[in-house]
Amino acid sequence: MLSGLMNFLRACFQPRANRHVHTGSDANGRQDGLLWYKDIGQHFNGEFSMAVVQANNLLEDQSQVESGCLGLNDSGPYGTFVGIYDGHGGPETSRFINEHLFQHLKRFTSEQQSMSAEVIRKAFQATEEGFLSVVTRQWPIRPQIAAVGSCCLVGVISSGTLYIANLGDSRAVLGRLVKATGEILAIQLSAEHNASIESVRQEMQSLHPDDSQIVVLKHNVWRVKGLIQISRSIGDVYLKKAEFNREPLYAKFRLREPFLRPILSSDPAILVHPVQPQDQFIIFASDGLWEHLSNQEAVDIVQNHLRNGIAKRLVKTALQEAAKKREMRYSDLKKIDRGVRRHFHDDISVVVVFLDSDLVSRASSMKGPNLSVKGGGISLPRNTLAPFTTST
């Protein structure tokens, strides 16, 4: 049976001559087939490593590291910004966030002349409103864009303070040194918004007490309105504005009953954490990683290996686990092309940020070089709308 499955999969992909050829300089990352990676780089508060592996026909994950000035016109404050944007239904929302969220953050930081949770919240809201404008403009010709959305995980380190803001089910995990034992403990920093979590279902039920179907167990998976697993996102306008939940939107996305208030929220959960000397590193990743690795397993991998290439190592370990679950070899999984690959694992984006306590503790007014790195993937036309699948 397994050999038959592999024969089917081999028929579904076309080998490419450059599949395992390294391209690009490490300054902007390298491409190796469906894997993009930047082994090591320097950010304002230490070193970092990035990696992305594509599974969907169009990469729906987007990611970025921005370092240096967090305001406009080099006015400061200075620090590090990390973003993981796990799209669903298509790449449009995650691409939009990748292009606009950090710019909004810089604008609001300059207005307030400092970094804060309120600045981050405003940046999220401005990004949501911007994408709503895109949907409104494109609705007459591309109505399905109303059902495209994205999770949004952001980390900001400035003036010795770490801010974690999250919508959806991407995750940020801190590796903290326990001085008494020398162990590195995994501490989850981000609050997740997935209907599989009982507290999220309770929150949805309390917000929508008149709707007994606000969360539904469908095919053994909890979904909001039987459609989507996450309860907070950017985009997914069809579950926020009733005027976009009608024809010509595909019938599978349309609700039978009209709704009077938004079903999904774009208000991020924000954690403010003063960075401690024992805080060693933070792993930011889309849920594609956490489907295959526990928080502690990921932290142990980072702790027990060289920094150079550590994000790539995390991605490859997750892929090895995905292959093992399907009783196949990792070498065979790597041969499966994008699109078909999605049956085995999701797009996975990982950024590992190491914290140098000497750099973290310096004043945010101290200047550092600006750096901008965005996670890569197979390049396709930017206005291509992905084939629609059930949103996650």
pLDDT for 301-354, tens place per residue?
Answer: 999 999 999 999 999 999 999 999 999 998 888 888 888 988 888 999 999 999
Q: What is the pLDDT of residue 379?
A: 43
Structure tokens at 81: 């910004």
Cα distance between residue 237 and residue 128, in whole Å: 9
Phi-psi region of 345 (alpha: psi -120 to 50; beta: other; left: phi over 0): beta
State the average pLDDT for the chain.
88
Question: What is the pLDDT, as a whole number, of residue 330?
Answer: 85
Cα of first residue to Cα of last residue in the chain, in angstroms, is 29
Residue 152 pairs in a beta bridge with: 167
- Give the CATH H-level superfamily of domain 36-176+266-372: PPM-type phosphatase domain (3.60.40.10)
* pLDDT tens, position by position, 251-279: 999 998 889 999 999 999 999 999 999 99
Distance, in Å, from the CA atom of 361 to the CA atom of 354, rounded to the nearest integer, reads: 14
Give 43-100 pLDDT, tens digit per residue: 999 999 999 999 888 999 999 999 999 999 888 899 999 999 999 999 999 999 999 9
Band of residue 365 on the pLDDT scale cut at 50, 70, 90 = low
DSSP letter for 23, please.
B
The reported pLDDT for the residue numbered 258 is 87
Residues 6+ apart with CB under 8 A from 229: 169, 194, 195, 196, 221, 222, 223, 391, 392
Report phi then psi at 233, rounded to 5.
Answer: -170, 170
How far, in Å, CA of 117 to CA of 271, rounded? 8
How many whole angstroms separate alpha carbon 258 and alpha carbon 252?
15
Helix (H) or strand (E) holding 316: helix 310-325
Residue 194 is predicted with a pLDDT of 97
**Global pTM value:** 0.89
Of 231 and 27, the structure prediction assigns the larger pLDDT to: 231
What helix, strand, coil percent values describe the chain, rounded to 5?
Answer: 30, 30, 40
Give mean pLDDT, residues 132-146. 97
Taking only the tens place, the pLDDT of each residue in 152-174 is: 999 999 999 999 999 999 999 99
Number of alpha carbons in the 13 Å side-chain half-sphere of residue 137: 6
CA nearest to 281, candidates 46, 83, 82, 39: 46
What ranges do the domains of the chain cover?
36-176+266-372
Q: Is the pLDDT of residue 20 over 70?
A: no
Please, are residues 79 and 115 in contact by the beta-carbon 8 Å criterion?
yes
Contact 284, 322 (CB under 8 A): no
- Hey, is 73 helix, strand or coil? helix
- Please indicate whether residue 357 or residue 287 has the higher confidence score (pLDDT): 287
